[in-house]
Amino acid sequence: DVLAAALGNHALNLMDARAISALAAAGQDLRLLDARATLSDPSAGRAAFDVSHIPRAVHADLDLQLSDHARRGHGRHPLPDAAAFARTVGGWGIGPAHQVVVYDAGDGSMAAARAWWLLTLLGHQRVAVLDGGLAAWRAAGLPETAATDRPPPLPPYPCSTYAAARIATAVQVQARLGQAPGWLLDARGAERFAGQVEPIDPVAGHVPSAVNRPFPLNLHDGRFRPAAELRAELLDALRGHPPSEAVLMC
């Protein structure tokens, strides 16, 4: 979804740490989601949140709230049911009018981008990612807390269905394998794409015809590079395929 945003299909709004701090100080209707996660230790994100987080943030758990592991055969982190996620969003105190900012530990590549994507799938408009994540917040010398001071819960988010056109299934991908490369971008590291190392998945390598575009290429010093630069590089990676037909995977 970060790649799709750079291509212009869906705007990935980025906010820097000081702008977020100013909104909070001005009493704006701000909601903060801490989406820190560690794939090798599902409890690590919550443990880090309990030690210290941005004031008034709520923890968004990759495995318990941003995924539904009861759905078998849908990958490592299957999407949660839309109605269930709408209840989760309401429980976070988020309604359609709120400005939401999501962060993870650093560059957004873990669960911050996923939480952003899920909220946009529900149709939420005012959602951004903290550019540079908690690392940028700390570098700016901004406050953290271990206190729990979350907003009051709301009813379920009023939209309980996802924008299905923005989700590709494995069957849909398989049906397009005969197309010329460029429509499927794989954001994993080059070594995993090539099958040289595989620390997580049971089978090494990549989907046939995928083009490798490692996520770190989108960043400089943990922040997103200028949109114009990213757009030019990503259009080149698509090899003539229109951005609206791109499928992105990790």
**How far apart are alpha carbons 80 and 78 in whole angstroms?**
6
Sequence-distant (6+) residues with CB within 8 A of 10 are: 1, 4, 120, 166
Task: Cite the active site residues.
Answer: 250
**How far apart are alpha carbons 244 and 225 in whole angstroms?**
22
The type of residue at 112 is: A
Q: Tokens standing for 94?
A: 């988020």
Of 185, 8, 30, 28, give the one whose Cα is nearest residue 103: 30
Of 207, 140, 221, 137, give the one whose Cα is nearest residue 176: 207
| Half-sphere CA count of 56, side-chain side, radius 13 A | 17
The CA-CA-CA angle for residues 205, 207, 209, to 5°, reads: 115
Sequence-distant (6+) residues with CB within 8 A of 180 are: 209, 239, 240, 241
Q: Which residue carries 């550019």 as its tokens?
A: 131
Counting every residue, how long is the chain?
250
What number of other Cβ atoms are within 10 A of residue 212's Cβ?
16
**How far apart are alpha carbons 78 and 160 in whole angstroms?**
17
Sequence-distant (6+) residues with CB within 8 A of 217 are: 233
